Amino acid sequence: MTATETRKFEAEVAQVLHLVTHSLYSHKEIFLRELISNASDACDKLRFESIAKPVLLAGDAELHIDVSWDPEARTITVRDNGVGMSRDEIVANIGTIASSGTRRFLEAMSTEQKSDARLIGQFGVGFYSAFVVADRVTVLSRRAGSPASDGVKWESDGKGEYSLEQIELPERGTAVVLHLKADEDEFLKRWELRSLITRYSDHVAFPIRMPVEKDDKPSDEWETVNAASALWTKPKSEISDEDYQSFYKSLGHDFNDALAWTHNRVEGNQSFTTLLYIPSQPPFELMMGGRDERKGLKLYIKRVFIMDAAEELLPNYLRFVRGVVDADDLPLNVSREILQQNRQLERIKSACVKRVLDLIEKLAKDEPAKFETFYKAFGNTLKEGIVEDHANRERIAKLLRFASTKGEGNVQNVSLDDYIGRMQVGQDTIWYITADSHAAAVGSPQLEAFKAKGIEVLLMSDRIDEWMLGSLNEYAGKKLRNVAKGDLPLDEEGKKQQEEASKLAEPLLKKLKDLLGDRVADVKVSARLTDSPSCLALSDYEMAPHLARLLREAGHDMPANKPTLEINPQHALLKRVEAESDEGKAGDLANLLLEQAEIAAGAQLPDPAAFVQRMNRVLLG
């Protein structure tokens, strides 16, 4: 025995406790889901460690989770005979930040007006949900393989401090004892606890046991109250939609139903089972954690949990997928390093990608409402696959949807196949424009010639579009081109008209070049403009101004490219510049023509104050 030691929680853990205990009043019951989930993880870890060290299971080989209650003491206990924790592990897992997930949890919670219980569990902070219903929590734990004298008692009221004490603990594993608050009597009823287990934890792969009730009191007899089987190992004919949804919610810590799922068994030289889900909305760690830390796709080998192996089983652009993969013939001593280079795993990864894309294609074909929900949630994430997955680029491109000059406002519902089906006779190019908003795209002067000729243009205003299009040059044999880049293709008559217009405008072009000096690379007569006086023209490989501006704002060094200004010599403003003899006034007009073109293209004005002064001078005459 050692003396009791009192420690303070790390500041961020104290914040988590405060948010959890004050914000999740409408989802109190999740504490049981999270504690059972942690207990299941502990059993999984022990089962995996015991493959190499069978002695760890000595005397107690049947792994299980026990949920008991004591009406008189007003306690609920969740006990497992899993791997257990040492003193240092308890401090690391409960008293301090175990991962950056805790910080992201705080960021997400603080941005929500009504804090959302979906966050609990997704960031590794599920244990703290115990304090939603308990004013004191006691943890008793002993690491598998350690002597009984190495037991640890952890206790806290959740208000800033916790105590640690070394105790004698005859059994390995962990027991979490919740001393319930005065108004939480509902959780001291067996039927309530059992219904919660059925709702949230029925498909946990270890037996969850409860005492049999006799004379309205818990007895010494135990019964298993969950299905206690790996759902994915059952034949599909024996699994109901309700079973699939229940398993998804326990797997993904989600209160919402999954949007769709695919369950497959592959037999042959390499046998494995996949059960993959698409959520109905983005998981919070997808939005907060980005591409770096990915979980949610679990790897099992012969039903033994190995790891959250999303990185090895699915590419980044499918990081929203949840589910399990259970392989029969991967080596059980597998490690991350071996996983990353394992050929069998590459085949499983290819199969997972195919299944997910098949599922999304099925939604697009057969369930348009569900596909619309999917695309709103994950369309931009899917676009990353155009850059990252060359082998499936055509399949992914087929699933993308865009707004269009012939579409319904800013609704993204036009596919590339739709566009091709509406192409004009002789048209061999898919035309698009990128901008930093739909309004900027639809109002761009570069569209004028296309509108005049009735040519459809795709309107792309998501930040990822410009980056994605660097890798999407062609689809179904048709070139993709930005209406704002390069010279427009003209027929012989159009070329002749363009040459004549340029020749007639030579004095005006020279005047503008002289007035604008080194602010422009060139001034040309535009084939794009019919109504507006000016626009910017980019080279085929030049970055769009709105994207360059965003990258500069993010701290990236971007080369300062001089723009090419295209003009419409027939416009009244150009006529005015041509007739203006006062060099100062002509200079103001020329600079305003350039600056309005820059604004329309989403570029950042180099000197906004000078622009305002010029505008005022012109307005005052």
> Which tokens go with 507?
């004095």
H or E segment at 565? strand 564-567
Sheet holding 161-167, edge to edge: 5-8, 161-167, 151-156, 134-142, 173-180, 75-80, 65-70, 208-214, 217-224
3-state secondary structure of 162: strand
Q: Which of 71, 395, 355 has the alpha carbon at shortest distance from 215?
A: 71
Q: Are strands 322-327 and 297-301 parallel, antiparallel or unpaired?
A: parallel
Query: Tokens 């036009």 appear where?
Result: 414
The answer for residues whose C-beta is within 8 angstroms of residue 418's C-beta and 6 or more apart is: none
Q: Which residues are annotated as a binding site?
A: 34, 38, 80, 85, 93, 100-101, 122-127, 174, 336
For residue 68, what are the β-bridge partners? 77
For residue 208, what are the β-bridge partners? 65
Q: Are strands 75-80 and 173-180 parallel, antiparallel or unpaired?
A: antiparallel
> Which tokens go with 86?
């040492």
Q: Do residues 187 and 148 make contact, with C-beta atoms less than 8 angstroms apart?
A: no
* For the chain, the helix, strand and coil percentages under 3-state DSSP, each to the nearest 5: 45, 20, 35
Q: Which residues are annotated as a binding site for ATP?
A: 34, 38, 80, 85, 93, 100-101, 122-127, 174, 336
Q: Do residues 451 and 366 make contact, with C-beta atoms less than 8 angstroms apart?
A: no
Rounded Cα distance, 86 and 458, in Å: 59
For residue 103, what are the β-bridge partners? none
**Which 8-state DSSP code applies to residue 272?**
E
Longest dimension (CA), the chain: 106
Query: Tokens 């060094």 appear where?
Result: 557
> Which tokens go with 317?
């652009």
Rounded Cα distance, 162 and 52, in Å: 35
> Cβ of 212: how many Cβ atoms within 10 Å?
12
Q: Which of 123, 400, 409 has the alpha carbon at shortest distance from 287?
A: 123
Backbone angles phi, psi at 310, to 5 degrees: -55, -40
DSSP 112-159: -SS--GGGTTTTS-GGGGGGGTEEEEEEEEE-TTS-GGGEEEEEE-SS
Q: Do residues 508 and 577 make contact, with C-beta atoms less than 8 angstroms apart?
A: yes
Rounded Cα distance, 275 and 234, in Å: 11
Cα dihedral sign for 524, 529, 534, 540? negative
**Which 8-state DSSP code applies to residue 414?**
B
At 233, the amino acid letter reads T
